[in-house]
Amino acid sequence: MTTPTSHPFYLDCDTGIDDALALAYLLASPQADVRGIGTVSGNVSAAVGARNTLDLLQLAGHAHIPVALGAHDPLVGSFHGGAPHVHGTNGIGEVSLEAADAELVPGTAAEMLVRLAHEHPGQLRILAVGPLTNIAEALRLDPELPRLVQDITIMGGAAFAPGNITAVAEANIANDPEAAAEVLAADWDVTLVPLDVTMSNVLEESHRQELLAARHPVPQALGDMLGYYFRFYESQFGRACSAMHDPLAAALAVGGVSAAVAPVVTVDVDTTDGPGRGQTICDLRGLYMDYPEQPGARCRVVLELDGDFAPHLVEVLQSFPESTTAAVAVGAAVA
């Protein structure tokens, strides 16, 4: 057995329960070497997301990974206040983590991304699981970014699936449609992980119990957070379970799971003020002919997975070593 090649990763997130799962997945994956993390307002404010990220990194024994504060407001308008009904008021399901000793690094998330891209030319991989404000700002800071970056994987949008903020818009894209339009129009290879796959690959209570029974405090804390998340998703699915938005994007980015159906198509973002605002308009008219090639298209839209994601996710998260450096104090859920 060969050791998988490790790639430098920049993670952009709005931590968030499923962001926490994505972060933990990356940290537990030998294919990913997380070199920097930027936060953005979405599930919570960029500042709260940064605090959660630092605390999680310390719990995981990775307090050395730099975290930069990103955009508080989208390119147009202002931050709407987050989704406490989904993620809790603290963003991580009212679970209390020990406060990290580490501080945020100086500079913005966009500046960190540009710097990392120059440090790893042609190698850096981006995983963006929040609104795309920081990525758009980085593109404005350095229009050469697409040439420097290997690829970008985005959790966001809805292709055939319904939206989760409006009938057609998904939260990450709808929270900053103008940024998403700029990012999807840039000249790089994008993998879009939309609700089509994240709502059809669900974590059940049995999986959550496996996380709670793990020896490492990170999967234990994630299992705790998922209790809150499950209660929200009960209103969507009619049972205690949850969608797996951000960790699925992480797993696709590192190759832990692969796509069975993922046509490369043109994608427009609706930036009007009409009823479609925030929709990712994916040109899937090739459906009836197994998606013939679309000249000039650069966006790979993941529509179906190859295999079952939840057992894989649990297995990876359980693989956190019994670390002596990791903090072991995990507060009980208070929700």
Residue 236 in the binding site for a second copy (CB under 8 A): yes
Contacting a second copy (CB under 8 A), which of 18, 94, 111, 270? 270
**Omega cis (within 30) before 16:** yes
Span of 13-21, 53-61, 156-164, 213-221 interacting with a second copy by CB under 8 A: 156-164
Give the CA-trace dihedral at 262, 264, 266, 268, to 10 degrees. 40
| Beta strands across the sheet bearing 67-69 | 67-69, 32-39, 7-13, 124-128, 149-155, 190-193, 299-301, 264-265
Out of 120, 245, 270, 312, pick the active-site residue. 245
User: Cα separation of 37 and 12, whole Å?
Assistant: 6
Residue 289 in the binding site for a second copy (CB under 8 A): yes
Active site residue 245: yes
Q: Where are the beta strands (DSSP E) in 79-193?
A: 124-128, 149-155, 190-193
- The DSSP-derived string for 260-291 is EE--EE-EEE--SSSTTTT-EEE--GGGGGT-
Residue 168 in the binding site for a second copy (CB under 8 A): yes
Contacting a second copy (CB under 8 A), which of 76, 167, 260, 334? 167
Task: Sort 292 into a burial class: Cβ within 10 Å, 0-12 / 13-18 / 19+.
Answer: exposed
226: CB partners within 8 A, 6+ apart: 17, 93, 203, 208, 211, 242
User: Cα separation of 244 and 18, whole Å?
Assistant: 7
User: Cα separation of 184 and 163, whole Å?
Assistant: 18
Contacting a second copy (CB under 8 A), which of 133, 172, 175, 279? 279
Question: Of all helices (H) and strands (E), which one includes residue 171?
Answer: helix 171-174
Give the CA-trace dihedral at 104, 133, 19, 81, to 10 degrees. 90
Q: How many residues bind a second copy (CB under 8 A)?
A: 30
Q: Which is nearer to a second copy, 38 or 263 (CB)?
A: 263
Paired strand residues for 126: 10, 152
CB of 80 to a second copy, least distance (A): 19
Active site residue 87: no
Span of 1-9, 88-96, 134-142, 161-169 interacting with a second copy by CB under 8 A: 161-169
Residue list 180-219, contact with a second copy (CB under 8 A): 199
CB of 26 to a second copy, least distance (A): 28
Contacting a second copy (CB under 8 A), which of 240, 281, 330, 335? 281
Residue 162 in the binding site for a second copy (CB under 8 A): yes
Span of 41-49, 89-97, 210-218, 286-294 interacting with a second copy by CB under 8 A: 286-294
Query: Within 13 Å, how many C-alpha atoms sit on residue 333's CB side?
Result: 18
Span of 22-30, 31-39, 99-107, 159-167 interacting with a second copy by CB under 8 A: 159-167
Residue list 238-257, contact with a second copy (CB under 8 A): 238
Contacting a second copy (CB under 8 A), which of 102, 104, 105, 284? 284
Contacting a second copy (CB under 8 A), which of 3, 5, 64, 273? 273
Out of 7, 12, 14, 196, pick the active-site residue. 14
DSSP 8-state assignment for residue 166: S
Residue 288 in the binding site for a second copy (CB under 8 A): yes
Residue 293 in the binding site for a second copy (CB under 8 A): no
- Please identify every residue annotated as catalytic: 14, 245
**Residues interacting with a second copy, by CB under 8 A?**
160-164, 166-168, 199, 236-238, 266, 268, 270-276, 279, 281-285, 287-289
